[in-house]
Amino acid sequence: MKLILTPLNLLILETVAHYRLMTTEQVHRALSGKRDKLASVENFSNILRRLHSLGFLGRDWVAVRPAERTAFAKPSAVWHLKPEHLRAILAELERTERADLYEPLRDEEANVKDGAPLAENTLRHELAITDFYAALDTDPARVALWLRTSPRHPAISRTVVFTQTDKKTGKKTERRLPLNPDGFHITHTEGKGYACFFLEMDMSTEAPEKLTNKFIAYVAYHQHNRFGEEIAAPLARRFRLPIEHPETAPFRVLFVTPNARRRNDLLLKSRVFPMSNLFQFATLDEVKRDPYGMIWASKATFAPHLDEYDERTHTEKASILRAWAHATLDARPKHAL
């Protein structure tokens, strides 16, 4: 009985299902730490195309950015699974009397859904989220749990209510804002215990008002002090995580940006909020190299210069002040989470 789905084929399909959306390079990188000998990226591309042609895998495309275009540049394939692909995989495994090998994919069925092709910007955003969690998984002993929560997740997404006071009139208005992170994860560090994080994958596409509302929603949710009971404790029970007193667990928010310029701008924007370490910032390139390393910056990073920055906002041209603040932030030491 000829095997169409080899063990490597199944591992590739399980990996794509696990991360939801992946380029060929991401699949290769994710598996490079799991197998001693691995085919080249070019051979992986051939394998993925074959799986697609046999109906076991879906494919979209991401165009080459204008700045990256050359005579040899080509669009990148983006691989994903839909329910029809899972049915085809199970049918093939049943045909070859290996239905038990479907079990790892059964665990991913909830993540595999039908849907229209994603817009270009959305694809890039989702692939960046894949990069983030694939980087976390390079040290699996430290990852207790991660969830992709974009665009919404029933256990994580919610609406936050807060009271806004008009500075001139003193009038109070109740506002409702969405708290809709791109991901959520819990890590474990020996000697430190468990830590909870929301992920915001920033692609430099959001308007200033939307960013401000995003910061406000997290600050309000932090002040409501409901995270432990609403999110941490239920997830600890569901995934059997030995977290002591998860109902009182705190959280932090990780903003991952496409470049240092954007990272610094978001950090400076967050300086007006009272918590010095609620928001943490790093670039995607830094995260891909080592998400657990000394790559993160926060309001505390800029603390020695906050007063000077605020004073200079009244006397300095915005462009000059921004250049000084960016140079200062770039020179400040970063920290690990």
DSSP class per residue in 78-89? EEE--HHHHHHH
Average pLDDT over residues 27-33: 89
| Residue bearing the bigger pLDDT, 208 or 170 | 208
CA distance 117 to 135: 26
Sign of the dihedral defined by the CA atoms of residues 77, 80, 85, 89, in that order: positive
Q: State in Å, rounded, how far the first CA of the chain is from the last one.
A: 52
Checking if the pLDDT of 72 tops 80, the result is no
Q: What pLDDT, on a 0 to 100 scale, did the predictor assign at position 64? A: 67
Checking if the pLDDT of 71 tops 80, the result is no
Checking if the pLDDT of 19 tops 80, the result is yes
CA distance 73 to 71: 6
Checking if the pLDDT of 243 tops 80, the result is yes
Alpha helices, DSSP H only, in 33-151? 41-53, 83-95, 103-106, 120-136
pTM value is 0.93
Q: What is the pLDDT of residues 79-118, one digit of tens each?
A: 999 999 999 999 999 999 999 999 999 989 988 888 777 8
CA distance 141 to 134: 13
Phi first, then psi: give them for residue 170, nearest 5 degrees.
80, 0
Q: Confidence class of residue 51 from pLDDT cuts 50, 70 and 90?
A: very high
- In whole angstroms, how far apart are CA 100 and each of 32, 84, 95, 132, 328? 25, 19, 12, 31, 57
Average pLDDT over residues 125-151: 95
Q: What is the pLDDT of residues 245-298, one digit of tens each?
A: 999 999 999 999 999 999 999 999 999 998 889 999 999 999 999 999 999 999
Specify the amino acid at residue 309: Y
Name which of 306, 303, 287 is nearest 295 in CA terms: 287
Read off the tokens for 68. 């990256």
Specify the amino acid at residue 22: M
